[in-house]
Structure 1
Amino acid sequence: MDFLRDAATEREATVFYAGNLDLLDAPTVSIVGTREVSDAGWKRASQLARELAKRGVTIVSGLAKGVDTAALGSAIEHGGHVAAVIGTPLDKAYPAENASLQQQIYAHHLLMSPFKDGDRVFRSNFPVRNRVMAAVSDATVIIEASDTSGTLHQAAECGRLGRWLFIAKSVVDDPALSWPKNFIGKPKVGVLSSIDDVLHAIA
């Protein structure tokens, strides 16, 4: 992908990739959330990825621990296609325990990064990665996220880029969380209660 245009600022950013770029021609859904996912959150991410993949949707995520790993692994396990957007150059794996999964995606699916080989890895890389994920996805689903989660960067990018954002009902109903109210009620934001919510939005 030579350039990815930022719809809000008209900046252009190079996105480096390896694998099958045609996977982005299918409907694409990001499934994202916390690294410290609960057992229930892991199951939700895995089930959603499996069911969307069975319907020909390319699953997008960030290859972090937790929700990302659950979604990508489940989609692959059930014969689906995935696109991973990472916050490191393509030749580096973070976290290290996902190196094998990253290699599998590199070889058989699609791996993308806004960082060229040799770039250093900083914490600030990950909001940039989230912007790319939002941009290449028709919709983003947040499975689990705290009030300080980096996932909220992607939620904000969905609004800025005019992409659909879905928030799991369990998150919206959690009285300990304040962030969902900042998004609920805005255009193209919905509460995810079933897979049909996403499928209708991206149809």
Structure 2
Amino acid sequence: MLSTAMINRRIEGRERRRGSYAPPVDSHRYLLSDLLMRFGRMPLADRQLDFLRNASPSREVAIYYAGELDLLDGPTVSIVGTREVSDDGWRRASQLARDLARTRVTVVSGLAKGVDTAALQSAIDNQGRVVAVIGTPLDKAYPAENSELQQHIYKHHLLISPFRNGERVFKSNFPARNRVMAAISDATVIVEASDTSGTLHQAAECVRLNRWLFIMRAVAENGSLSWPQQFLKHPKVAVLSSTDEIVAAIGA
């Protein structure tokens, strides 16, 4: 279990290393529809395929990646949540990622501060496989303090972006990142999120794409939050009590 002091030391260490990102020299483009078809995750209903279509019919939605694409050939679970994570939330994200890594489930997250960082780092520390989906092009690292972690992931795991190199970064990029994360994952777990969290974009995509969505019990039972009850009415949304529930749901 990570103490608050240990968490602070990790954060301070990343802060000292900020600004030293070296982008991948070997990256590739892949149509998202082909990617989902290749790994058996293509949605079946026509209404679920809207995210594969751009406003321009001549430009299909693509992803750009560096690393080992075949990490998607197997069970994948997204662990997501707030950037301003509590100590308990950090511990829960780390423990879940560790447990999934030990069952050979690939951990997916977004490389933001907070929950994303805790999950990806814990999976790596426990010899797991990870996929990071970022809201910037592959040639940018955001936040800067995660630049070393981002480099490690594209060198040894898999880094994905829905944005081509050189594209400008806007706040509106992040729902597109969440959409891709939901699409390539068999399930998503929300560790900690407020009623206004951007994480809820991914929750909505899970429902629309008929992917499993798990909400950690501490969040579902938090009386100050209204969003969990809005999602729990859907058939593939559940309160999470143990990692075994995820493994059973996705058949890992």
The percentage of counterpart residues that share the same residue type is: 69
2:200 aligned residue = 152
Q: Does 1:46 align with 2:64?
A: no
Q: Quote the offset at 1:185 in angstroms.
A: 2.2
- SS of the aligned residue for 2:245 comes to helix
| 1:52-131 alignment, distance < 5 Å | 52-131=100-179
Taking the aligned partners of 1:192 and 1:164, their CA distance within structure 2 comes to: 11
Cα RMSD (Å): 1.0
- SS of the aligned residue for 2:150 comes to helix
- Give ranges in structure 1 of 5+ residues lacking alignment: none
Taking the aligned partners of 1:26 and 1:55, their CA distance within structure 2 comes to: 11
Taking the aligned partners of 1:164 and 1:13, their CA distance within structure 2 comes to: 23
2:233 aligned residue = 185
Taking the aligned partners of 1:45 and 1:65, their CA distance within structure 2 comes to: 12
Taking the aligned partners of 2:90 and 2:192, their CA distance within structure 1 comes to: 9
Q: Quote the offset at 1:197 in angstroms.
A: 1.0
- Give ranges in structure 2 of 5+ residues lacking alignment: 1-28, 34-41, 54-59
Taking the aligned partners of 1:103 and 1:67, their CA distance within structure 2 comes to: 19
For 1:81, give the aligned amino acid: R
For 1:2, give the aligned amino acid: Y
Q: Which runs of 4+ in 1 moved over 2 A?
A: none
- SS of the aligned residue for 2:213 comes to strand
Equivalent residues, number? 203
- SS of the aligned residue for 1:166 comes to strand
For 2:156, give the aligned amino acid: H
Q: Does 1:29 align with 2:68?
A: no
For 2:121, give the aligned amino acid: G
- SS of the aligned residue for 1:191 comes to strand
TM-score w.r.t. the length of structure 1 is 0.98
> Which of these two proteins has the greater Rg computed from alpha carbons?
2
Taking the aligned partners of 1:106 and 1:4, their CA distance within structure 2 comes to: 19
